[in-house]
Amino acid sequence: MSVRDIVMLVRGVPRRRGGAVRELGARIQDALGEALSPDSAALSVLAGGGVVTIRGEVRSLDQISRASRVIDGFGGATEIVNLVRLRGTAIGDETR
């Protein structure tokens, strides 16, 4: 399933009662889970105060690109902050 298909599917499914921002955050989290599974567990989606913030680390640039396409698919009146970044290598973990 393409990222666009995932976003369109999740956007149309009511998930939770509550505020529009929390609903949007839940839908983004569902779409990221579909697009990035199992790495979506490393991402957190926080919704409140009129802003949805996605933060965390993924293993590849391709996953950053997929996450960004999912997040961009939910653009609208609510501010969405994308803080997804590439997982860094800890000091001493470099392969030689």
Tell me, yes or no, whether 79 lies in a domain. Answer: yes
Tell me, yes or no, whether 25 lies in a domain. Answer: yes
- Relative to beta strand 51-58, strand 43-48 is antiparallel
Tell me, yes or no, whether 45 lies in a domain. Answer: yes
Tell me, yes or no, whether 63 lies in a domain. Answer: yes
Q: What is the pTM of this model?
A: 0.70
Task: Look up the domain containing 47 and give its range.
Answer: 3-86
Does 6 or 51 have the greater pLDDT score? 51
Number of domains composing the chain: 1
pLDDT band at residue 17 under the 50/70/90 scheme: very low
Please report, for the chain, how many H helices and E strands are present, in that order: 3, 3
Domain of 27, CATH number, reads 3.30.70.1770
Tell me, yes or no, whether 69 lies in a domain. Answer: yes
Which of 51, 91, 89 is closest to 71 using CA atoms? 51
- Taking residues 60-80, what's their average pLDDT? 90
pLDDT at 28: 93
- Per-residue model confidence as pLDDT tens digits over 46-66: 998 889 999 999 989 999 999
Count of C-beta atoms within a 10 Å radius of residue 40: 22
Tell me, yes or no, whether 96 lies in a domain. Answer: no
Tell me, yes or no, whether 91 lies in a domain. Answer: no
Tell me, yes or no, whether 31 lies in a domain. Answer: yes
